[in-house]
Structure formats: structure tokens, C-alpha cells
Amino acid sequence: MRLARTAETLRSSGRKSLVPYFTAGYPDEETTLSLIAAAGAAGCEIVELGVPFSDPIADGPTIQESSQHALAHGMTLGRTLDLAARAEAENDVAIVLMGYYNPILRMGLETFARRAGKAGVAGLVLPDVPLEESADARRALTAEGVTLVDLVARTSPTDRVRRIAGQASGFLYLVSITGVTGAGSARAADLDAFVGEVRRHADLPLYVGFGVSGRRLAQEATRIADGVIIGSALVRIVRESAADGNPVAEVRRFLDEIQLAINPSNEVRA
């Protein structure tokens, strides 16, 4: 499937993956599309697109605020899928949705899976669906060519890491802090131990998220992991630069800086 091919190609080439997160519809739909285009131009081959939800248990205040803004301006799961379809058609990036199960159940799991597959969505992260309850979603998504991306927490015991790795595909999403997004920063020493332990039991590419906020932490994480996922820091840049009408340029500048830090010997796309 596309996500597995993209992640494995990146790893085989020796490039570290930078996965930016944007909230669908924040600050508006057209800007979201422009942000995804900027990410592709900055060499990001996978982009995480957040589905706004009223009760996002894994998201901190920054992403919660962006979700509330998007919801207030009419963003829905259906419109997010339409947005993902446009982004996929206009850019050479693999779109991974990050959302919660309630809106999917309201739409209907099979309907959602079909629409996601038709939209060209490459993957889905469901932080409120544990491994033990993921079989139905994994089956429905896989049938439509969409990868269910599994998360591994720092607190996961070894047996659980093995079981997650045995089911996972694409890449493993390593949650580097105990808490919600944007609530703190990962520590280099903790990352070494955490990524090293997961690496012992999983052959998939390992991407570190939740707590990677800038150049230094991205460098530290990719010294041992295969990629980083950055969300709250980007949403904060969008929020702070939206007033002067230049969030896309600021996001591109930030992504170029991170790419230079984690892939110093590789050329970034023009």
C-alpha cells in the first residue's frame, strides 16, 4: 500500500522523514491546501491532516483551538475527506488522516473507508482506538488501500510492543511524551532508550511524535529514529503568522530548517 511504499522508500534511501501536521480547515480550507503544497515543496513526502473533533483526547490546547476554529467554520469529516482528495490530487504527498472514532462511526465505518480510499488517503491514525479494538477498522481500511497507523507509547510494556509491531504496517508512530500534543518536549536520553527498545521488536520505520517542536529535538530524534512528526509547533506558527497573511511562507521556512537539520546531505525539492 502507498504509505508502506513511501515510508520504506524513504528509509532505504537513507533520508529521514519529516511529517508535518496541519488541522483541516485551519485557518481555512484554501490555506490548508497551500500549507500541504508548501510541505511537499519542502521535501515532505508524508503529511498528517487532522480531522477536527470536539473532544480530541490526545491533542493539547494549540491543536484543540485550531480544531474548534475549523469546526466553527463548518469543517466536518466529509469535508476533510474532500480536502484530502484535493490535496492528494494536487501534490505528490501521501496524506495520513489523524482523527477520532466517533465521527467515523457516525458516518459508518465501511462508508468512511470507501470514501477515504477513493480520496487517495494513504493512512489513518486513531489515537482513541487501542490495538484490541482495531480489528474492524483495520480490515475495512486495508480493503480500500488505507493503512491504519499504530501508536506505541513510552509506557507500553515489551509484550504489547511486540503485539503492536506484529499487526502494524506503514510506520510505527512513537509517542515520545506521556501527555497530549504540545504539552512538553521529549528528552534526548529518553528517546534513545525508547526508540532503541521498540527497534528491538519492530522492523518498520519508526517516527517520533508528541514533543518534537524544533530543530534540535528533530536532530536528536532522527539520530536513532527514521522520522519525526511535528504538529503543535506548526499549528502555532500558522496561528501567529495568520494575522499578517503569511502563514504559508513561515511554515515553509520552518520546514526547510528542519529538513536541513535532519537531512543535511540531501537536496530539498525546489
Q: Which residues lie closer than 8 Å to 40 by C-beta, 6 or more apart?
A: 47, 91, 92, 93, 269
Please provide residue 23's backbone torsions phi and psi, each rounded to the nearest 5 degrees.
Answer: -80, 125
CA gap 148, 151 in Å, rounded: 10
Task: Write down the catalytic residue from 29, 59, 150, 220.
Answer: 59
Residue 181 to residue 234: CA distance in whole angstroms: 12
Is 55 noted as a catalytic residue in this protein?
Answer: no
- Among the listed residues 181, 255, 248, the one whose alpha carbon sits nearest the alpha carbon of residue 218: 255
Please give the grid coordinates belonging to residue 12.
Answer: 532505504
Respond yes or no on whether the N-terminal peptide bond of residue 247 is cis (omega within 30° of 0). no
CB distance 174 to 209 below 8 Å:
yes
Give the other-Cβ count within 10 Å of 193's Cβ.
Answer: 12
DSSP labels for 73-115? TT--HHHHHHHHHHHHHHSS-EEEEE--HHHHHHH-HHHHHHH
Q: Are 117 and 85 in contact (CB under 8 A)?
A: no
Pairwise CA distance, residues 126 & 107, whole Å: 15
Considering 29, 30, 45, 48, which one is annotated as catalytic? Answer: 48
Q: Which residues contact 7 (CB under 8 A, 6 or more apart)?
A: 17, 46, 170, 171, 204, 205, 226, 227
Q: Which three cell numbers stand for residue 173?
A: 508512530
Catalytic status, residue 59? yes
The residues that are catalytic are 48, 59
